[in-house]
Amino acid sequence: MKLSDDGFDARRLRPRGSGNWRWRALGALAALFAACGVMLSMAGAATLLGRPPALGPLNDSAGAAIVLLLFGLFLLWGGVNVWRRCRRRMRRQYGNDLSLSPRLLKKRG
């Protein structure tokens, strides 16, 4: 690619970043935590509603079921928040649009 005399470099218009796999892996781990949170909260709610315990002796009392429900909801909330932050970071950092200078976007006239 030819560089002009005024210092313009076309490669700066589309920055290529490395490290996208880190955000993807963290997002996948967060989605896994959110899925585990759904399962744990469903098991705790099933015990509280009078169904047989889903996890055996781990949640056979009402207190243990409440703890399991709250821990599952917290895990779900944390997993969804981390997943959303990872997606936002990936889109902001590695967008498909051109990153033009504000000087180039001014209207001429």
Give the 3-state secondary structure of residue 72: helix
In this predicted model, what pLDDT tens digit does every residue of 52-106 receive, in sequence order? 766 777 777 888 889 999 999 999 999 999 999 998 888 776 555 555 666 666 6
The yes-or-no verdict on residue 25 having pLDDT over 90 is yes
Identify the H or E element spanning 87: helix 62-93
pLDDT at residue 73, rounded to an integer: 97
Residue 107 included in any domain: no
pLDDT at residue 3, rounded to an integer: 52
Residue 22 included in any domain: no
Predicted TM-score (pTM) of the model is 0.66
Residue 42 included in any domain: yes
Alpha-carbon gap, residue 92 to 47, rounded angstroms: 43
Comparing CA positions, the residue from 81, 18, 68 lying closest to residue 40 is: 68
pLDDT at residue 28, rounded to an integer: 95
Comparing CA positions, the residue from 60, 63, 67, 62 lying closest to residue 41 is: 67
Other CB atoms within 10 A of residue 86 CB:
20
pLDDT at residue 60, rounded to an integer: 76
Residue 45 included in any domain: yes
pLDDT at residue 39, rounded to an integer: 94
Residue 106 included in any domain: no
Residue 4 included in any domain: no
Residue 88 included in any domain: yes
Report the domain count for the chain: 1
pLDDT at residue 40, rounded to an integer: 92
Over residues 31-39, the mean pLDDT reads 96
The yes-or-no verdict on residue 108 having pLDDT over 80 is no
Residue 19 included in any domain: no
- Of residues 32 and 54, the one with the higher pLDDT is 32
Supply the range of the domain harboring residue 48: 37-93
